[in-house]
Amino acid sequence: MKLIYTHENRLLVNNVKNLLEQAGIETLLKNEFSQGGMGELAIFDCWPELWITQEGKLERAKQLVYDITHAKEQPSWFCRECDEENDASFETCWQCQHNKPE
Ligand SMILES: [Zn+2]
């Protein structure tokens, strides 16, 4: 098992998880629900962590994570439902889950 990605925003971690799984890489999410209820103790250790179970796919997974997290050349988009700005890699609005406009 290798830790491939962690971020304080659970939605970002889930987004990476979905993209890795679409690429055929099995993942395991840890600490998914440890945020909230932690009060003042919301420290780095409690960030959701995305692990991969197949170490042979580590390099491929790293490349995908890099691509996902550095996809800055694509413009972000604004949700038609709630006007929230979303990263280009998101297929649905992080705030209201409305689909990305075509
Ligand atoms: Zn929205």
Hey, where are the domains in the chain?
A: 2-70, 75-102
What is the CA(32)–ligand 1 centre distance, in A?
Answer: 22
- Cα–ligand 1 centroid distance for 96 (angstroms): 4
Distance 65 CA to ligand 1 centre (A): 24
Q: Quick one: pLDDT at residue 47?
A: 86
**Ligand 1 mean position, distance from CA 21 (Å):** 24
Residue 73 burial (C-beta neighbours within 10 Å; 0-12, 13-18, 19+): exposed
Considering Cα of 59, then 64, then 69, then 72, what sign does the dihedral take? positive
Render pLDDT for 85-101 as a digit per residue (tens, 0 to 9).
998 888 999 999 999 98
Distance, CA 100 to ligand 1 centroid (Å)? 9
Architecture of the domain whose range is 2-70: 2-Layer Sandwich (3.30)
Q: Using CA atoms, how far apart are residues 18 and 16, in angstroms rounded to an integer?
A: 5
- Could you tell me the distance, in angstroms and rounded to a whole number, from the CA of residue 3 to the centre of ligand 1? 30
Count of beta carbons in the 10 Å neighbourhood of residue 9: 12
pLDDT tens by residue, 9-37: 888 899 999 999 999 999 999 988 765 55
Residue type, position 14, single letter: N
Q: What torsion do the CA atoms of 8, 14, 86, 70 make, to the nearest 10 degrees?
A: 80
